[in-house]
Amino acid sequence: MKTTDYLPSNDAKLMAWAQNFYFVGFPLETTLDIVPAQMEAITTANSNLSVAVLEFTAAQAALKAASLSKQAAVKALDASVRQVVRGIQICPNITDPVRQSLGLPPRNQPTPAPVPLAPANLVATPYADGTNDLRWQHNGNTKGVVYVVQAQTGSSSAWVQAGVSTAARFAHNNVTPGMPMKYRVTAQRGAHNSGVSNEAGVYGA
């Protein structure tokens, strides 16, 4: 069975408990079979704790004040720097190398093009005239993306480029009607390539 400690864990309550113990126990030293030095040790320790608590409280207040002072200093520095930098950034006579030497971004910093995403939901539909019509979803890709269509023919495992498109569709012309074929599509923007789309087949491929 777990027992509760008779000494309070709260500082103020612990000091009050020790003071009461001293005042009640001091007249009963003989009965309690304790010596004055033991009681004096308790009251000295209680006094030391009282001083330590006061110092700790003062330190906490000082820390809070220092933290607020630091935040105010950071805010003031931020405002001062930004006020000066705004003038530098709009001045046409200050070159980008000078700006960069000051730790500032170029005035007309280009935005990097987003990496393209793999096209989604590719569907292939064959027609008797030898055209396989392919359609897919952009899947979040924006302007500037080129879609590269790859095809597998018959039993071949090699993927061969069938063409490119800037739209989410492609007509693969002049193929043999009835020839099993698989298709997949990737998106390309500059030097960046997406993963491949799902595969779509015609004539049982």
Q: What is the pLDDT of residues 17-76, one digit of tens each?
A: 999 999 999 999 999 999 999 999 999 999 999 999 999 999 999 999 999 999 999 999
Q: What is the pLDDT of residues 108-143, one digit of tens each?
A: 766 777 899 999 999 999 999 999 999 999 999 988
Domains and CATH numbers, the chain: 1-109 (no CATH), 120-202 (2.60.40.10)
Over residues 169-196, the mean pLDDT reads: 95
Chain-wide mean pLDDT for the chain? 92
Amino acid at 196: V
Long-range CB pairs of 189-192 (<8 Å, 24+ gap) are: 189/113, 189/114, 189/115, 189/116, 189/144, 189/145, 189/146, 190/113, 192/113, 192/115, 192/116
